[in-house]
Structure 1
Amino acid sequence: MASALSAQAQGAPNARRQPVVVELFTSQGCSSCPPANANLIALSRRPDVLALSFSVTYWDYLGWKDVFGKPQFTQRQVTYEPRLGQSGPFTPQMVVNGRESTIGYDLAEIETLVARNHRQDGPSISLGAGRIVIGAGTAGPEEADVWLVQYDPGIVEVPVRRGENTGRTLPHGHVVHELARLGSWNGRAATYAFPSGRDGFKTAILVQGRNGGPILAAATME
């Protein structure tokens, strides 16, 4: 069944506002990243936040290849930067609802960004029975993207044997393993096939403005 974060199903009497999506771009080869990893773990305990950890690949040359890193995660961060006013990607970086960016060291600052990015005007998302239903709403000047994210809901400890974090065991929370674009959404109600998930992982759906635009809606399913 859909989790409480899958709120705002049309007509659902117990609908709650959708979560704020906080994406951390991190790397096990980055000595500055562990404090931001810890902050994401703290945020992952909040029911009003969907915390997602994306491991990038551009620090792999420093001597340790991030075991979760994928080029498509790096590309997701690169796509964000022009809209966020950044000259290029860096770690650690937290992106809040696709709208604002911070380094991620200061948990109080991140919580301030979360508080001002709560939205209740996005389309409803209903998950289950092999399908995803996105309700009617405003897509913006262009069609929005519909993303499927599969992530580990637990905390994973990774021992690092080389590079800047040699000898440390780094905890990671809500590590993303798969990211796939399911299609586009033009503001009209639409239904998408719901691919089967991987055992032990959770699935999230993001409705997001094209080319790294703002996240309009999000939902998770067990």
Structure 2
Amino acid sequence: MRYETVACAHPARAMRTSRREASGSRNAPLRMRRPNGCGAGRFGRRLGSSTATPDSRRTARARPQASCSRPGDFGVCGRLGSGPRPCPADRPGTSACAAERAYRRSEPFAMLQRTYRAPIRRSWPSVCRSPYRSRAMLVRRLQLALLSSLSFASAVPAAELCAARSGTQVVPLVELYTSEGCSSCPPADRWLSQRIVGADESANWLAFHVDYWDDLGWPDRFASPQYTERQRQRVGVHGDTTVYTPQVMLGERVRMQWRADAAFARALADARTPAHVGLALSLHSEANGISLRVGAARADARDTAPAQVWLAESVDGQSTEVRAGENGGVRLKHDRVVRKLWGPWPLDRAAISERVAIRSTSVSSDFTAFVQDMEGRTLQSLRLPGGCRE
């Protein structure tokens, strides 16, 4: 709301009136009319100086208009222009100029210098339909309305399709590095598929297909240089530079003997320790697609050991007719094939939360989140089956 300042009586007009009355050019007093809008609102700021006191103003306002018949009644008469002004006849021996100067020091002239604030009403939104004294007040109200609308929008969460939360024990993560161009890899692929048939939740499994076999006759459609780099980094932490396929890693143990079932089972049991990190996964349906939210929290907020959070999307039941290379003419089957890897997100505080957009619309895609320290030790892992969306 803005205000328009209008003057109820112009000082120049008051001066002209004073000269006319002082010279006696008009017998009847000249009544001054107020402009439109002067009858509403409150007094505005003063435009000129005044010698009037608050007591005299209150007395003048309290005096009824009928009392303006005498020349000395200056209050309401002078302010509203409804009565005569003091004329030189009240002060014998004075000139017109002296009367003008005397009038300028009088209460009516001081009150005529005041202005009124007449609000200009306009059409505003519903939040702005009450009058405002300043632009700053209006802007502040609009800001509050916008924040309220944003808070309401954020308070309405996206529809949750499914969710999972880790327990009090660490669930080990087994990583298999393999390739369709390696003749030694199919037995390891079958070994992994057999371990997940019984839906064993005591461990999570991921198969990373590397790309350094692609130049030997058959390019692996699941291979990625990102997975090759991860394999090299995992072994490089322990001062090694040799990578191979198939290679099985269990936490910080990067050269596991996967064919020795008893030894491997003991290693899995040793990795199931009390968890110091918790994980949460939730899949949401949003207006622009599907998103996955990953949350990780430390059991002890004072724990500041470096750790990283990862998220992998994997698929089961994949098969490939290999037509060249070491596995030419063989049909290969794969499970837990990693198709996308996000991270790492540093767990550098008590808890973190990340949101990722999911482009895949396949309900068979699984999502596995895991936390590892800088040596590769798995602090926690959690799998969200893709079938939960059905």
Q: What TM-score, normalized to structure 1?
A: 0.84
Q: Which of 177, 191, 196 is the matching residue for 2:353?
A: 191
Letter aligned with residue 267 of structure 2: L
- Larger proportion of helix: 2
SS in 2 for 1:69: coil
Match of 2:269 in 1: 115
Q: Is the 8 A contact 1:92 1:104 kept in 2?
A: no
Task: Give 1:97-108 correspondences, 5 Å limit.
Answer: 97-108=251-262
- Larger proportion of strand: 1
C-alpha separation between the residues in 1 aligned to 2:235 and 2:324?
Answer: 29
Letter aligned with residue 369 of structure 2: I
C-alpha separation between the residues in 2 aligned to 1:97 and 1:125?
Answer: 17
- How far is 1:114 from its partner? 1.6
Q: Which has the higher contact order (CA 8 A, sep 6+)?
A: 1
Match of 2:202 in 1: 48
- How far is 1:197 from its partner? 5.8
Mark the CA change 1:157 to 1:180 in structure 2 (over 3 Å): closer, same or farther.
same
Letter aligned with residue 168 of structure 1: V
Mark the CA change 1:36 to 1:175 in structure 2 (over 3 Å): closer, same or farther.
same
C-alpha separation between the residues in 2 aligned to 1:19 and 1:163?
Answer: 37
Q: Which of 142, 160, 166 is the matching residue for 1:7?
A: 166
Q: Is the 8 A contact 2:232 2:241 kept in 1?
A: no
Q: Which 10-residue stretch deviates more, 54-63 or 77-86?
A: 77-86
**Can you give the 5+ residue segments of structure 1 that lack an aligned partner in the other structure?**
9-15
Q: Is the 8 A contact 1:31 1:165 kept in 2?
A: yes
Give the alignment's Cα RMSD to 1 decimal. Answer: 2.3
**Can you give the 5+ residue segments of structure 2 that lack an aligned partner in the other structure?**
1-161, 285-291, 386-390
- Corresponding pairs, count: 211
Q: Which of 372, 379, 384 is the matching residue for 1:208?
A: 372
SS in 2 for 1:161: coil
Task: Give 1:1-222 correspondences, 5 Å limit.
Answer: 1-3=162-164, 6-8=165-167, 17-45=169-197, 46-84=200-238, 86-128=240-282, 130-137=292-299, 142-152=305-315, 154-181=316-343, 183-196=345-358, 198=360, 199=362, 200-210=364-374, 213-222=376-385
- How far is 1:92 from its partner? 0.4
CA displacement 1:36-70 (0-9 Å, x = unmatched): 11111122232211110000011111101111000
SS in 2 for 1:124: strand
Q: What TM-score, normalized to structure 2?
A: 0.50
CA displacement 1:121-180 (0-9 Å, x = unmatched): 23111222553221224697753111110000x221211111111111111111000011
Q: Is the 8 A contact 1:27 1:66 kept in 2?
A: yes
C-alpha separation between the residues in 1 aligned to 2:378 and 2:231?
Answer: 14
Moved over 6 A (4+): 138-141
C-alpha separation between the residues in 1 aligned to 2:262 and 2:220?
Answer: 28
C-alpha separation between the residues in 2 aligned to 1:67 and 1:54?
Answer: 12
Mark the CA change 1:27 to 1:194 in structure 2 (over 3 Å): closer, same or farther.
same
